[in-house]
Amino acid sequence: MAKEVKFSLVFRDMWQSAGKYQPRVDQLVKVAPAIIKMGCFDRVETNGGGFEQVNLLYGENPNKSVRAWTKPFHEAGIQTHMLDRALNGLRMSPVPKDVRKLFYKVKKAQGTDITRIFCGLNDPRNVIPSIQYAKEAGMIAQASLCITYSPIHTVEYYVNLAKKFIEAGADEICLKDMAGIGRPVSLGKIVAGIKNLKKDIVIQYHSHAGPGFNMASILEVCNAGCDYVDTGMSPLSWGTGHADIIAVQEMLKDAGFKVKEINMAAYMEVRTMIQEMCDDFLGYYIPDLNHINNSLLVKPGLPGGMMGSLMTDLEDNLKSLNKWKVKNGQPELTTDDLLIKLFDEVAYVWPKVGYPCLVTPFSQYVKNLALMNVMQMEKGKARWSMIADTIWDMILGKAGQLPGPVAPELVEMAKEQGREFETQDPQSYFPDKLDEFREEMKQNGWELGEDDEELFELAMHPEQYRAYKSGKAKADFEADLAKRKAAKNAPAAGAEGPKSVTVQVNGVNYKVEIAYGDAAPAAPAAGAAPAAAPAGEGEDILAPLEGKFYLVKDNSETPKKVGDAVQAGDTLGYIEAMKTFNAIRADKAGTITAILVNSGDSVEEDDPIMKLA
């Protein structure tokens, strides 16, 4: 009898791997019946990872979204699954223990069946507690092996890791080939090795198409006994995304596997709806290069899910870097120039920081560190001259044990800065905090929500949730979208264009002022944050890079205010760029005489943000 291979549609990851945002809940609810009608999926990835932060960023309640989105799949008998970052929950940074426990109870109550738990360090100390919390909440605990290719990450390494997770109670194992750089034959050996450990363990394979290995990899893992394969579909398949369900289904059918047929009329219906979502607003955040497969990705091993936002980030950084180059009489770089320099630097940096698997958040940390190195070196500064505290946490072992040793030069730098390497359980650094968040909700008059889901949302994404509740998140998003829509209407070089346009976003009209070439910058769109107070006396503190300015990165810190005395080296605030908070430190002692931007405002490199006298 032919072995059956079942399919999962990774709808959330399709969007994350393409660009910056996810569909709105009305779009999700509309497309769900057509996905069900396709008839080929036993599982659909509905949420997890960056999904909820994205909802908050454009002013939508993620809890209502998840409940509405999972409901039709349950009614159709299709399992829903989500992406879960273990110690980091649904975010980039570690989560307190009591928040992690609440996480699984909330997601189970909202309708998510399976949680795919992963740690980019493959540290069992981070994954095993999540296996236990998920099972206690009644979820299916799928433990992931984060796949990469290095001298350390061998077949034996992965089979031994799977053994630990199975012994800890994992219901299923996922081979999470997030960069698509797992070599096909080795992946087949890993699956065979796991099936030898426990014949009936369910194995699911997740891979990205970018580097070009994944169709061969899918065939190899299925021949070795894989049970489920993750797939995407047009117009968000291939490129930095996933293999298309049509190609995978046809390949496996030809190889003799039992697979479900695809209702092609429904496929085309879903395809049309996805394109409509792109045309509505999501396409403004999807760079063209993310539709293209690129074997250059084999060398840096950057994951597909990160490539979705990388190209957007790269555009901003290139603009900032070229602005500096023009000012200093140097030739500008192209996107390809910067991309190649970045890929080369990632390949250089990765072994130096101990070979963490390049998946969230460690892919962002390694990429950000590499990009900062490139930016600094292009300006004649030293490599390693800007390392964010969260990246130091990874290097020092605070986020878990690195697979390999840290380079001597970074060990020496840590010593010079008084930083210590850590060996404790990573969770021990992040004590319980739910009571603090409960008190904050009480003081604000906010409801805890059904099954404490609103409490959970604040605790998991504090800054984004506060911005959502205040309305700032929605205003910022709609202003940004209005600018992007206006920019698309910009005239060709040399042509005379309009000085302003009116753009409709979600039924609201925004008048956007447009500047061309070297003209003055456009005025803020409606809904943008108000200007800060006038400057005081003293020396400008400049933004070290482009991003969003925050006075604090979490509620454990006290924000600086005008009149505060600071010492050299004190943290004045942060620039959040590429999902990392980069500390702005005082170069000398003094008194803050002005704060020139509001917390949450976007700033460019070298913008004055404070005055120090």
pLDDT tens-digit map of 405-446: 999 999 999 999 999 999 999 999 999 999 999 999 999 999
- How far are the Cα atoms of 311, 315, 608 from residue 335, in angstroms, in the given order? 9, 7, 27
How many degrees, rounded to 5, is the angle at CA 443 between CA 470 and CA 97? 90
Cα angle, residue 459 at apex, residues 455 and 465 outer, rounded to 5°: 80
pLDDT at position 507: 53
pLDDT tens digits for 336-372? 898 889 889 998 999 999 999 988 888 889 988 998 8
pTM of the model: 0.81
Please state which of the ranges 120-129, 234-243, 415-424, 535-544 shows the lowest mean pLDDT. Answer: 535-544
Grouping H, G, I as helix, E, B as strand and the rest as coil, residue 94 is coil
The pLDDT-based confidence of 524 (bands split at 50, 70, 90) is: very low
- Residues 375-388 have pLDDT tens digits of 889 988 899 988 98
Q: Tell me what percent of the residues of the chain surpass a pLDDT of 70.
A: 90
More confident: 518 or 546: 546
pLDDT value of residue 218: 98
Return the ∠ at Cα 126 (arms to 123 and 131), rounded to 5°: 115
Distance from C-alpha of 342 to C-alpha of 349, rounded to nearest angstrom: 10
**What pLDDT, on the 0 to 100 scale, is given for residue 578?**
64
pLDDT digits (tens, 9 = 90+) for 65-88: 999 999 999 999 999 999 999 999
In whole angstroms, what is the distance from residue 200 CA to residue 179 CA?
27
Please give the Cα distance from 180 to 76 (Å, whole number).
31
Predicted confidence at residue 557, as pLDDT, reads 81
CATH superfamily entry for domain 6-284:
Aldolase class I (3.20.20.70)
Q: 579 falls in which pLDDT band (50, 70, 90)? A: low
Q: Are strands 228-231 and 6-9 parallel, antiparallel or unpaired?
A: parallel
Question: Exposed, middle or buried: residue 499 (CB in 10 Å: 0-12, 13-18, 19+)?
Answer: exposed
Confidence of residue 312 (pLDDT cuts 50, 70, 90): low
Q: Do 200 and 185 form a contact (C-beta atoms < 8 A)?
A: no
Strands, DSSP E only, in 178-241?
202-207, 228-231
Q: Is the pLDDT of residue 512 over 80?
A: no
Tokens 């001597």 found at? 408
Q: Among 21-30, 148-157, 311-320, which stretch is predicted with the lowest mean pLDDT?
A: 311-320
Q: Is the pLDDT of residue 161 over 90?
A: yes
pLDDT on residue 529: 40
Q: Which of 24-33, 188-197, 601-610 has the lowest mean pLDDT?
A: 601-610
Nearest to 548 by CA among 385, 313, 299: 313
Question: Does the structure show a pLDDT above 50 at 156?
Answer: yes
Of 47-56, 173-182, 597-606, the range with the highest mean pLDDT is 173-182
What's the whole-number mean pLDDT along residues 114-142?
A: 97
Q: What is the pLDDT of residues 462-494, one digit of tens each?
A: 989 999 999 989 998 999 889 888 887 766 555
- Per the CB < 8 A criterion, the answer to whether 311 and 287 are in contact is yes
CATH domain 539-612 topology:
OB fold (Dihydrolipoamide Acetyltransferase, E2P) (2.40.50)
Kindly report, as residue ranges, where domains of CATH 2.40.50.100 are found in the chain: 539-612
What is the spatial distance between Cα 197 and Cα 199, in angstroms, rounded to a whole number?
7
pLDDT of residue 517: 43
Mean pLDDT, the chain, whole residue set: 88
Tokens of 538: 């003293």
Identify the pLDDT of residue 227: 98
Say what the pLDDT of residue 606 is: 79
Using an 8 Å Cβ cutoff, are 17 and 291 in contact?
A: no
Q: Where in the chain is the domain with CATH 3.20.20.70?
A: 6-284
Rounded Cα distance between 591 and 613, Å, is 5
How far, in whole angstroms, is CA 253 from its chain's centroid?
A: 34
**Which pLDDT score is estimated for 508?**
53
Give percent above pLDDT 90 in the chain: 61
Q: Rounded to whole angstroms, how far apart are CA atoms 45 and 11?
A: 6
Give the number of other Cβ atoms within 10 Å of residue 575's Cβ: 23
Please tell me the predicted confidence (pLDDT) of residue 304: 66
